[in-house]
Amino acid sequence: MWPVSQVFSGKHLAYLMPRNAQPPSRAENLITLHDQIVACERCPRLIAHCREVAATKRRAYIDWEYWGKPVPSFGDPAARLLVLGLAPGAHGANRTGRMFTGDRSGDFLYRSLFRAGFASQSESTHLGDGLALKDAWITASGHCAPPDNKPTPAELRACRPFLERELELFADARVVVALGKIAFDTYLGVLKARGEIASMSGFKFGHAALYAELRPMLLASYHPSQQNTSTGKLTQQMLDEIFLRAAELIRSGRDRAVPPRSSRRKSQ
């Protein structure tokens, strides 16, 4: 059964809770975090860009009412898989209000999540399309759409407390899949700041690189950006293998595993 507590909005989740039930502390905290992300204005350049894109729009989406503000994380509050991306797309999540929804990156990601059993359907087009995640939570290094898809280091640092809080709330998570080098470094930066690793230098990014000694384990993937998928640097099969491996690690309880053979040869 797919969980009803998909965190699309704090009000939505609160509505779904039985009136006489006390919401689990994690769910309460995720509601608070959701609202903090959406209300955040720490990075004036990014807020201005999100609003400008929402006002000018792309011709193909001229009839859409764009989200145009920070995009919150979402998924299953009981997730053991955390998917860490870069940032919302200007005409994807910045338009629809949900991570990886409405663009080519999401087309690749949700097909893979569906095939691995983490998503209820293989596509995500808008908030009311029926998508639900099971055992997975999708977040990002940055929650605002950046110009040219390039947030500055200072902007990533400003957004990092949201990820730090999520890692605290999902303390029992088993695997983090980092989509791209920036997400990979963001996650390691959090671990270093918390004193859980001494240095980031011993962790090399590469597609299907697995660091099973970390808690949660870190599994790296190329980002499903249009540049990577259109050039064949990342194929659907390669991304499928990443999430099938994550499912294997989570559901088998194994701490160590060998990366998929067909992906091991590729590295950045």
The CATH number linked to 199 is 3.40.470.10
d(CA 90, CA 251): 35
**In-domain check, residue 268:** no
Q: Which of 234, 232, 261, 194 shows the shortest CA–CA distance to 112?
A: 234
Number of structural domains found in the chain: 1
**In-domain check, residue 151:** yes
d(CA 28, CA 32): 6
**In-domain check, residue 72:** yes
In single-letter form, the type of residue at position 78 comes to: A
Q: Is residue 97 a contact partner of residue 71, using CB atoms and an 8 Å limit?
A: yes
Output the pLDDT for position 50: 98
Using a 10 angstrom Cβ sphere, with 0-12 exposed, 13-18 middle and 19 or more buried, the burial of residue 200 is middle
Output the pLDDT for position 25: 77
Output the pLDDT for position 152: 98
For 114-128, the pLDDT digits (tens) are 999 999 999 999 999
Strand order in the sheet with 175-179: 74-75, 136-140, 81-85, 175-179, 217-221, 210-211
Output the pLDDT for position 252: 83
Query: In the structure encoding, which two tokens stand for residue 223, read together?
Result: 């980002």
**In-domain check, residue 1:** no
For 174-185, the pLDDT digits (tens) are 999 999 999 999
**In-domain check, residue 262:** no
d(CA 194, CA 171): 13
**In-domain check, residue 4:** no
For 31-59, the pLDDT digits (tens) are 999 999 999 999 999 999 999 999 999 99
**In-domain check, residue 2:** no
pTM comes to: 0.87
Query: For the residues 242-264, what does the mean pLDDT come to?
Result: 68
**Domain that residue 106 falls in:** 10-253
Using a 10 angstrom Cβ sphere, with 0-12 exposed, 13-18 middle and 19 or more buried, the burial of residue 229 is buried
**In-domain check, residue 261:** no
